[in-house]
Structure 1
């Protein structure tokens, strides 16, 4: 794989980044939100709060599935090292979180909206506020001292009064390499699976040059498909994985658990369309699916 810094430098020259963000600093943060947090173009643009009166907060992303609120500060710098200044900017942002109303004062319009969303999310005491400091360089020893001190302070801090926990992580040049490699590995797996279909409840045909199986399968067999939990099964779906806590899936769960409705679940469901690179028929209703998604 090419050096991640070269990838970033090349990709932030694309029209999406050039047309939506005025400088390389914002483009870098947007790249990070898209390629590490896996946001789509609209979500990444919506997350960016950098600009005048940004209160040292470059981006905000609320992950409802993981119940985490990401507060991102980015430093796009191609020099040898970054000093402690951005670390202190993160600490400044953190210090204002105990009073969101005050933080919202004089904030830019995008950040004001995000702070309102944060306040709503924090009404649920299961959320964690995750401060992320990202850079294309490496931190000086002095900066690392400040980072470790802040992380120690957070680990010792009693968050009971705030009703939420707090984390602080840093992603430097090597961290970007590791995170990007990890995401590439997770989002481009080869998923193979064998299914066993009941006689009389499936048919095989060809549409054009494509082999097709139409089948009625028990839900308990459907959930055995690989890649559901980590979302990799949905990597080519334009909506990606919906996670487990969205409104649609909550209602599906409610239907399954309702003794008066669960028997008719097959008729309530829209069905599942899955594609793969190859189907191998093994006999007796057994099929091997290669490159499933």
Structure 2
């Protein structure tokens, strides 16, 4: 049977990737059998990349870097939104008897180390095309990395084979499940064949459900609604797992922060679950009540669902399953709201419209709820009359620039970085809703105590910006470990620099805090960075995980402060020579014609927010090129000239309320190639 499964996989790979896989490095006169094995090995890596990311065949083929200097990685699959990177190692075995050996895992571990250390020059030209995206995703504090070892055979690894990868996982992953960065996923012949089978013929899912408080909507399209016991939902998930979400934009996201909150509610307050949850939407080819439906009867009703798919509420379904697994007696009494929509008489494309609409509506986050807190209201008032500045406490409004003020999001991150507890810097780096949780002793209460001074808030923001500006100024000049520490340890650098300077007067309106503290920031930031690099080097491990670990951050902060206050000069930091600016290179070369349309593209965790903001006015995402070394972009949204960096920073501030320097030439592109890439093309040609 294994040989037959290999044949099915081979046929699928040829159908999917014929003409897409790069074989230019394989000798033209090589035996046909050799060329075919090379194609199938690379196509197998591309196929798995396509399955995990949901990308097109063309993009999956572009993820393949197999060849000389691939460092044990056959494909690098990237999801910029999550953000997630899959490092895929594949082996083709015609007889279906492949295995994973120690050499394979050692090579993959070596490739992982090179990526985490930023040694991108060690990889081949195929990887160079992915370098910017990989670097952006690895620089995201919430990045996840999956090592996938794909073999057409038994994927089981002996202890001695798996040991190098487990050692890497221990170094990268934090003490809590939510701090996990790296996971290891071997795939065998059965797993790949299952993917092929599912793609060629996705199984139709038929379900039974009993609703209470049942209602019906007949026009314009048939739908039923009501509440359902969580036990029924858990059985659906147990029987069908992620197949239940076949039409969903995304499958279950696992136990994210939202999921954990749902699980906690299920276990501790199960009868309130219905009130706290938005519910589930199920699309069905047909919905049939088991007995004739009576509109006047809102009692329990049983329905047969044909061709069912959960298109909204995947996290809710997964959380229900987990809650019942942990505490079936407690969670079992909960109910959840549900909508059953029949597609039987709906127009073509209506299902896709429902899926998109139900997954893209604005959600009320903890930050929005914090706008109701009296502390936030007081700070907004005091910013206005005491500081003559603006303090924005609600999402959706324009973020004030420069000295005009700040948002409460920027304030929360600044207060976290300058707090006495270095652990909060970890949460500032992670972002999200954690800083806005409102429980006794929560981060929010520590950051915004009832009597916090408006001067403490504003000056923390100013300090954050000052240190950030120093770090941004050196961006692109640092390399190796120094670059990684500056990137991933930014929040801790701010924290240490703050603690190492005299902050006793920060809340005093009569003090000359700005005049006495801010001038020392550039030198102190450089010293802190130098010592932090030294202590991270002594500690060992990967910066991407070290700065997610509260214990390690606390230890590093204490060690660096002691070194800064000591008598020993700071270690030297090696930097690269500054190369010619991209805009100047492009203008001098005349590579871009006057009047060319330049488009904005961004990757990583900010992509969704920026794209949503641009979608409201597409002119925001376009600019016209003029051959000016200082301001080559005329923004369509306001007709004003900007440099790529200043325009990207301005847009980021307006869309997300975030400040800080960015490399704007990475985000503005011509026909899919960024200004950085175009400038590099010119340099290489010279």
Higher share of residues assigned helix: 2
Gaps of 5+ in 1: 254-261
Aligned twin of 2:283: 274
Cα distance in structure 2, aligned partners of 1:138 and 1:18: 27
Shift in CA distance, 135/98, structure 1 to aligned 2, threshold 3 Å: closer
Aligned twin of 1:202: 216
Aligned twin of 2:421: none
> Could you tell me how far 1:112 is from its partner in structure 2?
1.8
Aligned twin of 2:4: 3
Matches within 5 A, 1:1-293: 3-14=4-15, 16-22=16-22, 23-34=39-50, 37=52, 39-41=54-56, 44-45=60-61, 47-61=63-77, 69-78=85-94, 87-99=102-114, 100-107=116-123, 108-113=127-132, 115-121=134-140, 123-124=141-142, 127=144, 129-136=145-152, 148-155=159-166, 159-160=170-171, 166-168=182-184, 170-171=186-187, 175-178=188-191, 180-181=193-194, 188=203, 190-196=205-211, 198=213, 201-204=215-218, 213-217=222-226, 224=233, 226-227=236-237, 230-235=241-246, 237=247, 239-241=249-251, 243=253, 272=281, 274-277=283-286, 279-283=288-292, 284=297, 285-293=301-309
Superposed CA offset, 1:98-150 (max 9, x none): 453443124222442453145225x338x4x44222233579xxxx99x5313
Partner-residue secondary structure (3-state), 2:86: strand
Higher share of residues assigned strand: 1
Shift in CA distance, 52/73, structure 1 to aligned 2, threshold 3 Å: same
Cα distance in structure 2, aligned partners of 1:291 and 1:101: 48
| Aligned length in residues | 259
Cα distance in structure 2, aligned partners of 1:83 and 1:288: 45
Shift in CA distance, 181/27, structure 1 to aligned 2, threshold 3 Å: closer
Moved more, 282-291 or 159-168: 159-168
Gaps of 5+ in 2: 23-38, 175-179, 263-273, 310-686
Partner-residue secondary structure (3-state), 2:14: coil
Shift in CA distance, 98/275, structure 1 to aligned 2, threshold 3 Å: same
Q: 8 Å contact 2:72–2:110 — kept in the other structure?
A: no
> Could you tell me how far 1:7 is from its partner in structure 2?
0.9
Superposed CA offset, 1:237-285 (max 9, x none): 2735363689xx89xx9xxxxxxxx99x98xx9x946113452342445
> Could you tell me how far 1:192 is from its partner in structure 2?
0.4
Partner-residue secondary structure (3-state), 1:92: helix
Q: 8 Å contact 1:151–1:168 — kept in the other structure?
A: no
Q: 8 Å contact 1:279–1:288 — kept in the other structure?
A: yes
Cα distance in structure 1, aligned partners of 2:149 and 2:242: 26
> Could you tell me how far 1:168 is from its partner in structure 2?
4.6
Shift in CA distance, 89/131, structure 1 to aligned 2, threshold 3 Å: same
Shift in CA distance, 106/240, structure 1 to aligned 2, threshold 3 Å: same
Q: 8 Å contact 1:96–1:102 — kept in the other structure?
A: no
> Could you tell me how far 1:96 is from its partner in structure 2?
4.6
Q: 8 Å contact 2:85–2:134 — kept in the other structure?
A: no
Partner-residue secondary structure (3-state), 1:54: coil
> Could you tell me how far 1:8 is from its partner in structure 2?
1.2
Q: CA RMSD in A?
A: 5.0
Q: TM-score, normalised by structure 2?
A: 0.31
Bigger RCO of structures 1 and 2 (CA < 8 A, at least 6 apart): 1
